[in-house]
Structure 1
Amino acid sequence: MSDDGRIATDGIAERECGEPQREPPCEFCHIAAGDEPAARLYADEQTVAFLDRQPAVTGHTLIVPRAHEGELFHLDAAATAAVFETVQTMTDALEAALEPDGFSVFYTSGPLVGTVEHAHVHLVPRFEDDSVSLALSRRRLGESDASELVSAIREYC
């Protein structure tokens, strides 16, 4: 039993209401449930959008599924679609409110890039004078490398 009276099994504690909660607690699950303060912009049955607490620029928004999942594409298709519908809703709202020059939308996956183990999409309004850089080092993809890669990937499509 945890310190707050919940029964814990395999890293998940049951609340009195029967909802499973992660141990240690997931910050984004608590925000989605309304248990933790956040600058919430939008919510529906499957998603929540709120301002990033450490924004790259004004209006930097996070869109999260209500269901706890570390990987966005491990959600069912409807939940994944709902996340991207909320991205569109928030893009429209941020465009009207802030008049940015454009947007960067990104999702990162895996332990090398994430700080919160709850899938989320970053929606970053872009302004001509912002200092945001999403530069990737790039190299030209040769024809034979492309052919090998296409064959390897298509095998799983």
Structure 2
Amino acid sequence: MSDCVFCEIVAGRAPSRRVLADEHTLAFLNIRPAAPGHTLVVPRRHVRDMWDISEVEHGHVASMVRRAALLLRQAFEPDGVNVRVNSGAAAGQDVFHFHTHLIPRRHGDGLQLTWASPRADPAELERAMLRIAEVRV
């Protein structure tokens, strides 16, 4: 897709700082990093989001995510790593080419990517399970 910046990066027509690459995926540094080493992993083929990516393509991305995470651990020696996918504008996706964020973390870095929700009522969980059971494939 010519209007997709990640497709342009995959094709080599837009600049990027490539971390790792293989025939199915590309890992590159995020130009708006949440932390040093913040890396994005994308499939080479354009797919919009989690709902559009095939199971096989997702497997390729997951494999590259692990490889990139191991590389980032050696390079930055973080205390942890966030692995995050935002699918859809409501979830914070702003580039509509499936991508996974790898964000190296340090204790006390101040980055807030978590939430503090109250414990769910068991009846609420049961209602959710019933809805899921109705559509399970």
Same fold at TM > 0.5 = yes
* 1:77 Cα deviation after fit: 1.1
Q: Which runs of 5+ in 1 are unaligned?
A: 1-20
How many aligned positions are there?
A: 135
Partner of 2:121: 142
Q: Deviations over 1:105-139 (max 9, x none)?
A: 10011122121111110000001231211121402
Pick from 96, 110, 118 the counterpart of residue 117 of structure 1: 96
* CA distance in structure 2 between the partners assigned to 1:137 and 1:61 by the alignment: 26
Pick from 64, 74, 78 the counterpart of residue 100 of structure 1: 78
* CA distance in structure 2 between the partners assigned to 1:129 and 1:34 by the alignment: 37
* 1:33 Cα deviation after fit: 1.1
Change beyond 3 A, Cα 1:28–1:43: same
Pick from 21, 27, 50 the counterpart of residue 43 of structure 1: 21
Question: Is structure 2 residue 30 aligned with structure 1 residue 52?
Answer: yes
Partner of 1:29: 7
1:47, 1:64 within 8 Å by CA — same for their partners in 2? Answer: yes
Q: Which is helix-richer, 1 or 2? A: 2
Partner of 2:52: 74
Q: Which amino acid aligns with 1:84?
A: A
Relative contact order: is structure 1 or structure 2 higher (C-alpha 8 Å, sep ≥ 6)? 2
**4+ runs of 1 displaced by more than 2 Å?**
none
* CA distance in structure 2 between the partners assigned to 1:129 and 1:137 by the alignment: 17
Q: What TM-score do you get using the length of structure 1 for normalisation?
A: 0.82
Q: Deviations over 1:57-88 (max 9, x none)?
A: 10000001111111134221110000010000
Q: What TM-score do you get using the length of structure 2 for normalisation?
A: 0.93
Q: Which moved more, 1:105-114 or 1:46-55?
A: 105-114
TM alignment of 1:120-135, pairs within 5 A: 120-135=99-114
* CA distance in structure 2 between the partners assigned to 1:131 and 1:137 by the alignment: 15
* CA distance in structure 2 between the partners assigned to 1:93 and 1:64 by the alignment: 16
Q: Which runs of 5+ in 2 are unaligned?
A: none
Q: Deviations over 1:78-100 (max 9, x none)?
A: 10000010000001100111110
Q: Which amino acid aligns with 1:38?
A: S
SS in 2 for 1:72: coil
